[in-house]
Amino acid sequence: MRLFHASEESDIVEFVPRIPYRNDMDKTKGLVWSITEPSVPNWLTPRNCPRVGYRATEQTTQDDISRFFSSTSRHAVAIEHDWYKRMATTTIYLYEFDSSNFHFDETAGFYVSDRTEKPIAVVKYDDLFEEQFRRNVELRILDNLWELGEAVKKSTLTWSLCRMKNAKPNLLNIGV
Indicate whether 171 belongs to any domain: no
CA 86, CA 16: separation in Å to the nearest integer? 28
Q: Where are the beta strands (DSSP E) in 81-165?
A: 92-97, 103-105, 110-113, 121-125, 138-142, 158-162
Identify whether 169 is part of a domain. no
Phi-psi group of 96: left, alpha or beta (phi > 0 → left; psi -120 to 50 → alpha; rest → beta)? beta
Tell me if 173 is assigned to some domain: no
Is 130 domain-assigned? yes
AA letter at 102: F
Q: Is residue 174 part of a domain?
A: no
The Cα-based distances of 116 to 2, 20, 58, 122 in angstroms read: 17, 15, 35, 17
Any domain includes 172: no
Could you tell me the pTM of the whole model? 0.91
Q: Domain of residue 112: give its range.
A: 3-163
Does residue 157 form part of some domain?
yes
Tens of pLDDT, residues 93-138 = 999 999 999 999 988 789 999 999 999 999 999 999 999 999 999 9
- What is the number of structural domains in the chain? 1
